[in-house]
Structure 1
């Protein structure tokens, strides 16, 4: 009789479900006693074709009989079997089937066997699904939490068990977020509710979590969530995956901190500012407060000792506490670390120190007051050396107090990396400071320290170095006393900054002094300077030293000579801004000088212009940095300059300061040299001048005139020497010169005796031999005077001497 297994209505997707699987019943002898319709569909045999026949003969290929018999033996021994068999289709082909065998016990104790089979591919897929589900809850390293619609936990996997430190079984029925601190638990509940109500999944959202059993430790988790639904669309709950990404999150923060430090540190070539930038980067991202202590020689641009045994300077302090003052002293506060402290050990051997846990009585003290900082009891400390190029420049100390977690080895590594980068920037700043100081020292040595005493003008001056330029500039000024009570006023500017500009400025200033002693006209002085600059450029080019930043060409200069006797001012310029003249009545004008090329172009002439200045006039000379600042244009700068010079009677220092306040920015971009001179006029009674006939009696006549004039001035004690000097000079003019001959005496800071004639024949000092009858006149003149010399004019020459008024 045909037996069929009736399949009830089911919705299970299991391949072994009755509506999906092929079913058959075998008696104890292995004959088929029942056959399902699904078996007919899968294997092609109708029920009557197999019922009553041995299953091994009908369904098993002869080549697989051994495996089938082994399966039957297992069933008899264990009461069941599961595996894969190659079952023969009615067409003769073999079908891989997954087969489950179980014993059926009848009332008459006759045992039968139920076989349920499904295609092997479907069975393997179902097994993989089961393995995946089992792996998610037993072996998956990513946490899995299943929440019910009433926001209780249905199940968690072992990763969550390890994350929370609570057995998985205890989670069942626990309200969502129970093990988290209140704030984090509230966010967790809101997150699950939002997914459950909206159906919108969350993908890899980063959350922070703190467990109630360890509230000081902040963990970062990547959370994804999706809603669970049955085939009918009924909400079954929410599944949440939780991945602990704390280490990855910290690594990302460390990389971000390194990136921030790279962009911020070393923005200036200032040692103190670089140290403060380092402290700014550390707080609050890595530490709650930090101090940066540098060797005092480093602050001065010097090289530190190999072992830092001297007190260091606390250059930068940063804290999370707002009321903590910030150390802004450029030189820092002196700090001395007691032997054995972490900082002392770090400075001594140049190795970092990590103190993960400090004693409860440790506190951070304000270095200026020596008092504990309020609410800042530190619990963890890192000290790292600031070392670069084999030298320990200082030490950085980092504390944690409000940050709950202690410092770790990774934090120490990060601090070392940041300290290493900062140390290189600090050392670069130190070297730059050293170069700046060297250049500034050279520049100060080359600039005039004091203005020499002279009677022609009263002067005030300013030199303002650029605050943003990479080194000192080549601006300079000078006041040079000349013969005949005259004075030379000089202002110059060498293009560029640094040692090269300062050295070039020194060379030019020395050359100006040398040329000034020759009493050359201003245009001639500039021509000689132009030749010098060309020679210097040629020397450097020949030596292969001339670079794009070391160009001598570009120097400018203005040279003016003022005579207090005649009130004449002769000036010439080489590419320099025009000077400003303020009359005694307050009228301000630009002194219109012929334009001249900058020094170094070569081959182009310079021209002088002569003007008469009233007594009390102001002559203002300056470099282009005064009116060429970026915050004002040249025309506006000139207007402000003229406005500041409208009061010639004001004290010169006050006038200088008014000019600076009106035109100079707080941080000038270029060096500035400013020279303001108020003209003076020698009283007529201090000057005596006579025209002498070119006769043999000229020398005797000159002696008589001098004796009379010196008696009027009360300088009888100089009569003998002055008579001898004048006699020799007039005799030379008589012998070698030509008319007209002029004798002039000037009484100012010294007694000046001048003899001028129309000849350009130059007198020469020589040492006469014992057999020579003459040639000792100028030698005697040189012995009796402080200075003597010859200056040339278009009309001839003037031989002059100077004697101190107090006499020998």
Structure 2
């Protein structure tokens, strides 16, 4: 009767008899299938034939059971669970009966169907690796991870190279456990499929398997998939919040970032409603009509939902949000404490009885759990954030409330920073525009046009300015300048410099003399703090009678000159030192301008970017001027140049452009 190797192992244990001297005196077919030794090749030989080199030659079996590593006839190794019992025989007196099955089979067959079912369906991936780090057994959970970790396959070693799979860390950890026997608990590892189709985060623990003599036989690995752990998702959400929320100093965008981030990880529907103090450009809510049951308190600044079209929202972005006077929203504002309803009370006696529109939406969309958190920063209440679930049947928990509070706290600081920045920028912009000339006139000498573009960078509006000053004798002074820094201080300094230049212009000074006087005034006014009042400036005087244009620069780029034929040049003007250094090193330069010549004065914001220096920017300006020189109006030329260089997006720095075309 013959039985296959796998069937024999699964059905019968390998049985052998060993006499008192350790000689094999009994052998079964199952033992032959297990080790590869037929009875004729093993009977009469010592039991050490089956043991690995280095084992104690005086080995004697004892009562009990344990794991033993055997050497097969083909040179391979196998871990078995051996049970040893004393046996009396007529031939040898006291002998030993040994039964053994592979350790992998022992995990199921020898311990019964209940344990087999438990281990097979255990959600933790279990695998056994021999001393060569070859997988000799694994359960269903480990087999399901083969797409991510291809070495989860019986017979495959961690040393087998597989493209896209790095096992160096796993090999090092297993070898360390085999060497010192100390288990490794909860080691996090990220595994990715070779084709990049999926990624898993596993928490892995390793334990050494030992035989009856304490000899290491292999390693048992336990791997728990924590890719979608709730705690991990919360940490990832907070990590993402620190990166995404407040990425710009824009109030509306920051509010929307909070709403987008919380859906669907925390809630199915989120709104961010802000007070009018946080949105200074919005229409005052006091102008809107209020009733006894509906008061305009907020404006909607952010909203997100898991449902297309956001059916839960009564108001679009920017609209006024009305709330009942006696509602959780007003209570949150008054108490500065969050409102938490694990089960939303929608009964007729609740506050929703005063708000039929909200009640209709709540019942219609299935909202069942609610959190309202105040947006508070630096002692000010900026608004509220509302979190709702309707697609997710699970009610909010106290842990959800803590997570919502943490998200809102981070968003509130970003909103306050954006609010302060917007307020200061608007103030500086208004001041700067008030200080710039409202109506430029070149008189009989030149036709003038100008453009001013405030920057949209975080530093805020700067101190660029331009002016056209009519002088005696039909002459005209053209000036453009750029104050160091941004914000209100820069705008105020710009106003003082513009006034000083206008005053000095009426003294009839040459350009280099005017800049020297301006430099001394700024040094005296700055009280030694030169950086706070530093500026660059280009000043030119054009006399239509002689067609001579005299100019001087204080650390400023030269003007562009467009001839009537369309040729663009940049005169070699001495650059001079910036205003505020007190050096007074300025020189005047004369040009002859034919009738119809265009003179373009500009600040460095027009030509300098993070990717290109001034020379490259001047080349771009020359190309833009040459391409638009044929336009009939100076306003059109001015707009075309700014559009070609800056485009539709925001400028990296303030841009001031002043153009003058000499009259015939």
Fold shared, TM-score > 0.5 on shorter chain:
yes
Q: 1:105-184 residue pairs with structure 2 within 5 A?
A: 154=114
Aligned-pair CA distance for 1:412: 0.8
Query: Structure 1: which 5+ residue stretches go unaligned?
Result: 1-145, 156-171, 180-187, 207-220, 232-238, 682-808
Taking the aligned partners of 2:512 and 2:203, their CA distance within structure 1 comes to 82
Q: Counterpart of 2:333?
A: 347
Q: 1:405 aligns with which of 391, 394, 407?
A: 394
1:420 to 383, 388, 409: 409
Q: Kindly indicate whether residue 532 of structure 2 is the aligned counterpart of residue 551 of structure 1.
A: yes
State the partner residue of 1:519. Answer: 508
* Pairing partner for 1:674 from 653, 657, 661: 657
SS in 1 for 2:492: helix
Partner of 1:317: 303
Report the secondary structure of 2:604's partner residue: coil
What's the counterpart of residue 323 of structure 2?
337
Q: Is the 8 A contact 2:278 2:419 kept in 1?
A: yes
Distance (Å, rounded) in 1 between the aligned partners of 2:154 and 2:520? 88
Name the residue aligned to 1:585.
Answer: 565
Indicate conservation of the 8 Å contact 1:581/1:588, yes or no. Answer: yes
* Residues 617 and 648, structure 1, Cα contact 8 Å, conserved in 2: no
Does the CA contact (< 8 Å) of 1:443 and 1:502 recur in 2?
yes
3-state SS of the aligned residue for 1:551?
A: helix
Q: After TM superposition, give the deviation of residue 595 of structure 1 in Å.
A: 3.4
Q: Runs of 5+ in structure 2 lacking a partner? A: 1-105, 124-137, 146-151, 157-173, 175-183, 189-201, 213-219, 286-293
- 1:190 is aligned to 140
Counterparts in 2 of 1:457-606, with a 5 A limit? 457-537=446-526, 539=527, 541=528, 546=529, 550-553=531-534, 555-606=535-586
**CA contact 2:445–2:662 (8 Å) conserved in 1:** yes
- 2:296, 2:323 within 8 Å by CA — same for their partners in 1? no
Closer/same/farther in 2, CA of residues 240 and 653 from structure 1, 3 Å limit: closer
- Secondary structure of 2:616's counterpart equals helix
* Secondary structure class of the residue paired with 1:298: coil
Say if 1:204 and 1:495 are closer, same or farther in 2 by CA, change over 3 A. Answer: closer
Query: Corresponding residue for 1:657?
Result: 639
1:209-253 per-residue CA deviation (whole Å, 9 max, x = no partner) reads xxxxxxxxxxxx99999999999xxxxxxx99999999x954443
The answer on 1:286 being equivalent to 2:271 is no
Q: 1:486-511: per-residue Cα shift (whole Å, max 9, x none)?
A: 21110011122122222221111010
Q: Secondary structure at the match of 1:430?
A: helix
Partners of 2:598 and 2:358 in 1: CA distance: 53
Shift of the alpha carbon at 1:261?
1.8
Mapped partners of 2:478, 2:433: distance in 1 = 19
TM-score by length of 1: 0.51
- 4+ long deviations beyond 4 Å: 146-153, 172-179, 192-206, 221-231, 239-246, 322-327, 359-363, 368-376
> Which residue, out of 237, 243, 257, partners 1:277?
257
Contact map agreement 1:147 1:153 (CA 8 A) in 2: no
User: Which of 623, 632, 640 pairs up with 2:612?
Assistant: 632
Question: Where do 1:73-112 residues align within 5 Å?
Answer: none
Contact 1:629–1:668 (8 Å) recurs in 2: no
Matches within 5 A, 1:219-368: 249-300=229-280, 310-322=296-308, 324=310, 332-358=318-344
- 2-side partners of 1:610 and 1:474: how far apart? 28
TM normalised by structure 2 equals 0.62
SS of residue matched to 2:428? helix
Check the 8 A contact 2:121/2:140 in 1, yes or no: no
Give 1:610 shift.
2.7
Name the larger-Rg structure.
1
Could you say if the C-alpha distance between residues 252 and 194 of structure 1 is closer, same or farther in structure 2, counting changes exceeding 3 Å? Answer: closer
Q: Distance in 2 between matches of 1:625 and 1:633?
A: 11
The CA deviation at 1:205 is: 10
The question of 1:430 aligning with 2:412 is answered: no
Q: Indicate the SS of the match to 2:575.
A: coil
Q: Shift of the alpha carbon at 1:275?
A: 1.5
* Counterpart-to-counterpart distance in 2, 1:561 and 1:192: 84
Match of 1:382 in 2: 371
Change (3 A) 1:501 1:585: same
User: 1:84-119 deviations in whole A, cap 9, x for unaligned?
Assistant: xxxxxxxxxxxxxxxxxxxxxxxxxxxxxxxxxxxx
Distance 1:197 1:669, change over 3 A: closer
Residues 154 and 192 (structure 1), Cα distance of their counterparts in 2 relative to 1, 3 Å cut: farther
Distance 1:228 1:521 in 2: 95
Q: Equivalent of 1:392, from 361, 372, 381?
A: 381
Native 8 Å contact 1:583 1:648 kept in 2: no
1:310–1:455 CA distance, 2 compared to 1 (3 A) = farther
Task: Tell me the equivalent position of 1:80.
Answer: none
Take 2:495 and 2:117, find their aligned partners in 1: how far apart are those partners?
A: 90
User: C-alpha displacement at 1:449, in angstroms?
Assistant: 2.0
Residues 1:455 and 2:444 aligned together: yes
CA contact 1:324–1:373 (8 Å) conserved in 2:
no
Distance 1:655 1:243 in 2: 68
Tell me, what secondary structure is at the counterpart of 1:586? Answer: coil
* CA gap 1:359/1:459 in 2 versus in 1, 3 angstroms: same
Distance change (3 Å), C-alpha of 1:612 and 1:447 = same
SS of 1:645's equivalent in the other structure is helix
Structure 2 CA distance, aligned partners of 1:193 and 1:152? 22
* Equivalent in 589, 599, 623 of residue 619 of structure 1: 599
Residue 526 of structure 1: how far off its partner (Å) = 0.9
State the 1:590 CA deviation: 1.8
Structure 2 equivalent of residue 687 of structure 1 = none
Q: Distance in 1 between matches of 2:311 and 2:536?
A: 48
2:435 alignment counterpart: 446
Write the distance in 2 (CA, Å) between the matches of 1:477 and 1:583.
22
Measure, in 2, the Cα distance between the counterparts of 1:458 and 1:616: 10
CA deviation digits over 1:285-332, x for unaligned, max 9? Answer: 211221111112202289x99xx96431211112223554999x9972
- Over 3 Å counting, the alpha-carbon distance change for 1:572 and 1:348 in structure 2 is same
Deviations 1:746-781 (A, max 9, x none): xxxxxxxxxxxxxxxxxxxxxxxxxxxxxxxxxxxx
**Across the two proteins, how many residue pairs are aligned to each other?**
475
- Counterparts in 2 of 1:527 and 1:275: CA distance versus 1, 3 Å: same
Q: C-alpha root-mean-square deviation of aligned residues, in Å?
A: 4.7
**Cα distance between partner residues in 2 of 1:373 and 1:514:** 67
Structure number with higher relative contact order (C-alpha < 8 Å, ≥ 6 residues apart): 2
SS for the counterpart of 1:625 is: helix
CA distance in 2, matches of 1:194, 1:493: 66
* Shift in CA distance, 642/435, structure 1 to aligned 2, threshold 3 Å: same
Q: Is the partner of 1:263 in helix, strand or coil?
A: helix
Contact 1:301 1:434 in 2 (8 A): no
Q: CA–CA distance in 2 between the matches of 1:498 and 1:407?
A: 45
